[in-house]
Amino acid sequence: MIVGLIVACEVAFWVLLAAGLAFRYLLKMPRTGLALLLCEPLLELVLFTVTAIDLRNGAEPDWKHGLAAVYIGFTVGLGHATIRWADAHFAHRFAGGPPPVRPPKYGTARAVHEWKVAGRWVVAAVVAMALLQAAIWYVGGGGETDSLRAWQQRMLWLIGINVVIAGSYTLFPKRER
């Protein structure tokens, strides 16, 4: 049930995003579009609540509960940037807006950009780890929490990979030809 809800939340995220942007730009109803975009966090609240209820009702914590926490973390860390990216592209394509700003390609500006991207991923991973830890405490010592701890380790790896990528742009900046 949890995996199905995660899939439904992902589909609903993109449907709400498309509907919000369509109302905002195509139908010239910016308030309705904004209202639809502001409904996005409700998806995570529903997923969080259902996952907590599932654990409360005695379900053994497994990879599905960990995946729910990771999904919520990624939405918190990356959701706003995704919406901003889609908004810029949609406005350019359908509403005559300016072309979306491309990330810098070279030097310090590129390194700064990469650190910002890494920061979003780190926020996503830290939120996921915090939710996973809350689930571990919620289940208590009597429950099997190894799968949740495994997700926490994956999030640490994710943080490390993103820091290494951003650091490589700092230590070895790409130069213009």
**Angstrom distances, CA of residue 37 to CA of 11, 23, 32, 68, 151:** 14, 10, 9, 21, 29
Model pLDDT, residue 140: 80
| Residue segments in the chain with a per-residue pLDDT below the cut of 70 | 141-143
Q: Are 83 and 37 in contact (CB under 8 A)?
A: yes
Cα–Cα distance measured from residue 117 to residue 109, given in angstroms and rounded to the nearest whole number: 13
Cα–Cα distance measured from residue 50 to residue 156, given in angstroms and rounded to the nearest whole number: 26
Model pLDDT, residue 141: 67
Model pLDDT, residue 175: 87
Model pLDDT, residue 115: 98
Residue identified by tokens 């951003």 is: 166
**pLDDT tens track for 133-146:** 999 998 886 668 89
Cα–Cα distance measured from residue 159 to residue 154, given in angstroms and rounded to the nearest whole number: 9
**Count of residues for the chain?**
177
Model pLDDT, residue 119: 98
Its sign, for the CA torsion 109, 111, 117, 123, is: negative
